[in-house]
Amino acid sequence: MTIEAQDEQQAATKDRLLAAPISQDVGFLLAKLHAGGSVLNNRALAEFDLKERSYSVLILANSGLEPTQRELADFLSLDPSQIVALVDELEKRKLVARAPGKQDRRAKTVTATSKGAQLLAQAAIAARHAESEVLAALDDGEAVRLKALLRKALWG
Amino acid sequence: MTIEAQDEQQAATKDRLLAAPISQDVGFLLAKLHAGGSVLNNRALAEFDLKERSYSVLILANSGLEPTQRELADFLSLDPSQIVALVDELEKRKLVARAPGKQDRRAKTVTATSKGAQLLAQAAIAARHAESEVLAALDDGEAVRLKALLRKALWG
DNA sequence: ATCAATCGTTGACATATTCAACTATACGTA
DNA sequence: TACGTATAGTTGAATATGTCAACGATTGAT
C-alpha cells in the first residue's frame, strides 16, 4: 500500500466513527482537543526543558501575583504534592524562588527569577505557535469566541 | 473562620490568579474544564461501574459502526494496549463482545450486547446531567456554539 | 492557653501512559 | 505461489501521574 493511500484510509477511518453520538459529548471533545494540544505544547516546550505543567507554574510565578503553592494547586487543579515537585525542579534550575508568605508564614509564595522570566519570554513564543496549530481550523474570530466560551464555562 | 468566610476567601483566591496571562491560554482552559468535567462525569458514571473511558468505548460499541480496536484507539487518542484493558473489562461484564473483522481477520470489532445497550441508556442520562453541570454557566445557545467550535477545531 | 484548621512536605500506594516485543494475518511484488 | 513487509491485537516492563494519609510548623478563633 502506498503512503498516500495509507493516509487516506486513516483519515477515512477517523471520519467514520465521527458519526457516533459521542462526537456530541463535550467531555469527549474537550478530552480529544486537550490530548492533541498537549502533544503539540509539550513538543514546543521541550526545547526549553519545560512541559505544560512547569510552563503553567512559571507563567503564574512571573505574573506579579505572587501565588502561594496552595493557590497554584487550586488554580491548576493539581494536588499540592504535585506543586512541590514542580516548584522543586524550577527552583533547582533557578527559574523561580520560594519566599515565605508575608501574612502567613506557613505559605510559600513562588516568584520567577529574571532568568525564569527570560526563559518564559522565549517559551511563550513557542507556546503561541503550538496554540495556533491546535486552532488551525478556526479563523481568528472563532478562536476568540472559543476562548471566551471556555472562560465563561469555567468562571461564569 | 466561619464556613462562609472560608468559601468567600477560596473564591477570592481563585479569582485572584485569573488575572495571570495563562487564563488566555487555550491549552490551560481546555485542561481545566476537562479536569473539572472528568470529576463530574466519573462521579455520575460510578453508579454504573463505568468511567469516562469505558463509557466512551461502550458508546462507540453501541453505535452500529462496529469499530475495530485500532479505530477505537485512534478515535479516543489512546494506546492500543489501553483499549485491550478497557474492552477486556467490558467483555467480562458481558456489556460488549469481540468479533473477528469481516474483511480483516487480524482486527476485532467491538459491539455492545443488549445488556450493554441497556446499561448505556441509563448511563447516558447520568452523563447528560453531568454535562449540563459542566456547562451550567452557559445558556443553551452558548453550549451549542461551544460544541460546534470544538468540533470544528478537531475536524475542520 | 488551648484546640482545630491550614500550608507545605514526604512517602506509600494506585492508576495511567509509553514503548518494545510477539503472534497471527494481510497484501504487494517477484 | 512464495517472500518480505506492514498491521491488529496482546503482553509485559518501565515510567509517569494521581491520590491519599500523615507529619511539623503556623495560624486564628475561642
pLDDT of A34-90, one tens digit each? 999 999 999 999 999 999 999 999 999 999 999 999 999 999 999 999 999 999 999
Nucleotide nearest to B85 (CA to C1'): D10
Query: Which three cell numbers mark B116?
Result: 450493554
Q: With respect to residue A86, please indicate whether it lies within any of the assigned structural domains.
A: yes
Q: How far apart are CA A98 and CA A96, in angstroms?
A: 7
The alpha helices in A26-139, defined as continuous H runs, are: 26-46, 52-61, 69-76, 80-92, 114-134
Residues 116-135 of B with CB under 8 A from A: 127, 130-131, 134-135
- Domain total of chain A: 1
Q: Which nucleotides of C are covered by protein (CB under 7 A)?
A: 5-12, 16-20, 24-28
In a domain, A4, yes or no: no
**What's the CATH number where A137 sits?**
1.10.10.10
Report if residue A10 sits inside a domain: no
**A87 located within any domain:** yes
> Cα–Cα distance between A55 and A131 in angstroms, integer?
14
User: Is residue A99 included in any domain, yes or no?
Assistant: yes
% of chain B with per-residue pLDDT over 90: 88
pLDDT at B26 over 80: yes
- Kindly state whether B149 is in contact with chain A, defined as any CB-CB distance less than 8 angstroms: yes
Q: Does residue A6 lie in a domain region?
A: no
Q: How confident is the model at residue A156 (pLDDT cuts 50, 70, 90)?
A: confident
Full residue range of the structural domain in which residue A71 is found: 30-155
CA A11 / C1′ D12 distance in Å: 31
Query: Could you tell me if residue A116 is inside a domain?
Result: yes
pLDDT at residue B135 is higher than 70: yes
Tell me the one-letter amino acid at B99. A
C-alpha A82: how far from its chain's center?
A: 15
* Residue A98: strand pairing partners: A110
Q: Please check whether residue A15 lies inside any domain of the structure.
A: no
